[in-house]
A and B are shown apart, each in its own frame.
Chain A
Amino acid sequence: MRRQNDTLRKFARGKFGHLLRAGIREPALLLYLDAQANRRSHPNENLAREAMELFTLGVGHYSEADVKEAARALTGWSVEEGQFANVAARRDIGNKCILGQRGELDGTALVIILLEQPATSERLALKLCRLFFGESIVPPAAMHALAAGLREHDLDIAWATELVLKSQLFFSNANLGSRVIGPVEFVVGAVRALEMFDPSPSTLALADWSARIGQDLFNPPNVGGWPFGRAWVHTRSMITRANFITALISGPDVGRASPYDAAFLPHKYGFGTNSDALLTFHHRLLFGTDPSADIRRRTSGMDERRTIGTLLSSPQAQLG
């Protein structure tokens, strides 16, 4: 798993083809998707199906026959002694037809075919937009233009990312607070926002909280990977997010000896430290706006620490 993560980090911002070639040979993935059970006499479609559905084309851009043929092309790919191995005895070297391409196609040829499909560039554009933009922010035409640009740039993820991050749309007001923040982002984001660095909470405790909120690092719920957007938000995760914030401001349940000092940041930045000032400071810090009369009313009578906890548990604090 660690090696797979290293591979992902190494190739994430390069050309997608390099990532795909390396990623699809990672032992962690091959084992997870039964590659070693995939052989000429008895193909296993798991790896082929997920390579097409999740990693490249997406549903609707290939047929079941393509999946079967792709499985044949991937026969022989396996893991031996923790390393990628291509086992000749298991390989189906016969003629195949995948997405209209014919020949004695093997795994390497399959990857090339997948990279060439326009559907792959469209799906990459979709995923980048999902990562950086809220639900209805990117007009379809813009997404298709991004996909076209990816095709022109050999599926260069760094190029596409730069384009997105320098765009007006990314910085537009509409895009602020338009995405649900996932568990790790929420947990780490809260710690960073409150500048809890000295002492910092235990990272093991934070990982445990993240798992309980729904993101158990290195253990996604299924091969589809992590949920995104609204799928992060349901009863159990909302209860646990609130409980995490309670724990964060109290201290012990995040591995921090002392509770959060509500006056710490305002004092550091030369702000007032009476309760009204604390509320205003933290509201501006988290949301960029002054607290409304309604929030003032709801938090009046609460001690300052709980007031900040209330802000961090609000629906608004789940968006970024």
Chain B
Amino acid sequence: MLTRRRFLQASSLFALAPTVPLFVARTAQAAAADKDRRILVVVELNGGNDALNTVIPYADPTYEKLRPKLKIAKKELLSLSASVGLHPSLKPLDKLWQAGHLAVLPGVGYPNPNRSHFESMAIWQTARLDPEEQNGYGWLGRALDPQAGSAYLLGSAVPTALRGRRSTTVSLNRVEEVLLADPASAKQAIGGESADDLLAFVRRQSVDANAAADKLAHLAGGNDGSRYPATALAERLKLAARLIRSNLGARVFYTVQSGYDTHAVQAFAHGNLLEELAGAIAAFFNDLTQAKLADRVILLTFSEFGRTIKENGSAGTDHGTAGAVFLAGPGVRGGVATTMPSLTELAAGEPKMTADFRGVYTAVLEDWLGLPAKEVLAGTFDHPPLFRA
């Protein structure tokens, strides 16, 4: 929707042409587009999430044979269908599932899977299978390059996925970093309107910044009624929700949940991680729903690989191949969106992928964010209809 403010901003830029740098003019024009209001939140599950105990083919008798110690009993899991269920720790996601706002995608991978953390993560982050093609830029960084857009990282180490030639990442760890230390002084610092175009621009940005900081302070004061579990991931998604509610304008948020490399005594650690994940996602969407912003936001989870379908001798699992992806949000078409890989037709002892992750990325970029995917992913990939109109 072209608001009066946006029109004024756009027209002031046109008045400056031809000396306005092209990048600034492009950004203003892009702001008018509709899909531009949509937001993507990515949660990277670092370490290799055990897909088989996350999205469980409980009706397949092979499952229990492969996992004598680690199997999840049918009566414990969250049943999604006659054959597929979710790990019980994902119970907080049930509300999203029932509303048709959760897409579950088992079997997502790429040809010739690599079981090195470093190399497989590089593949997922750069969307390039060949290390020679992995030049340090990632799928989201590249996607944001044409508008020199920016992404918010909730954390410190900027992942390759966000690196681009012209796009930028803002790292945030705490909400204090976007709160005003002296709001009264900041308010008084802004005088009346100015005839000078640049000064007027800076003034408007200051007004917007003060408004955003005010809003964030209000939300940080816990006045918003949102409830989040007391976990580190929930804290980060809470911050993301606050940034979104304060209209910061970023389209991509990214955060990492570590600890999934469960080689030994997996059950407890894996359960905890999934509980943290589901609790945070559920609270996040509750929050956005209250703020009437949920329909603009989707959340994607991914991991660098799944784990060995056969448990090892230490009640754990080792590096595997294709993994599970989740997409959550009212904009998502709920359901099990990909085929569960067979546990008997294997390749090198592990399941064959049933969907290419680049197809998922294509859907996210084109169907959700309205950004062209072909150059970003160096190819075109089949993508399932993961989103509503």
Binding site for B on A (CB under 8 A): 34, 37, 42, 44, 46, 50, 130, 134-136, 138, 140, 177-178, 180, 212, 221-224, 227-231, 233-236, 238-240, 242-243, 246-247, 292, 294-295, 298-299, 302, 306, 309-311, 313-316, 318-319
Contacts and interface: CB of A to CB of B under 8 A. Distances in A.
Contacts of A230: 24, 198, 201
A138 B185 CA distance: 36
Interface in B107-156: 132, 135-136, 141, 148
A231 B23 contact: yes
Contact of B205 (A238, A292, A298): A238
B185 to A, nearest CB: 5
Contacts of A242: 180-182, 185-186, 189, 209
Contacts of A134: 198
Considering residues A46, A234, A294, A311, which has the most beta carbons from chain B within 10 angstroms of its beta carbon? A234
Interface string B11-55: 000001011110110000000000000000000000000000000
A310 B185 contact: yes
Interface in B164-200: 164-170, 177-182, 185-186, 188-192, 194, 196-199
Given A34-B135, A222-B163, A295 B205 contact: no
A177 B199 contact: yes
A234 B205 contact: yes
B202 interface: yes
A310 B188 contact: yes
Contacts of B198: 134-135, 178, 180, 230, 319
A231 B148 CA distance: 10
Contacts of B19: 135-136, 138, 140
B382 interface: no
Contacts of B181: 242-243, 246-247
Nearest to A178: B198
Contact of B178 (A236, A292, A316): A236
17 contacts: A44-B132, A46-B135, A135-B19, A222-B141, A222-B168, A224-B165, A229-B24, A231-B148, A235-B209, A236-B209, A238-B205, A238-B209, A240-B177, A242-B209, A309-B185, A310-B189, A313-B186
B132 A42 contact: yes
Nearest to B132: A42
Given A231-B24, A235-B248, A314-B189, A306 B182 contact: yes
B150 to A, nearest CB: 8
B182 A309 contact: yes
B246 to A, nearest CB: 8
B203 interface: yes
Contacts of B168: 221-222, 227
Contacts of A37: 132, 135
Given A236-B178, A294-B191, A313-B186, A44 B135 contact: yes
Contacts of A221: 168-169
Contacts of A34: 135-136
A316 B169 contact: no
Nearest to A292: B191
Contacts of A135: 16, 19-20, 197-198
A134 B203 CA distance: 17
Given A34-B136, A135-B16, A235 B205 contact: yes
Nearest to B246: A235
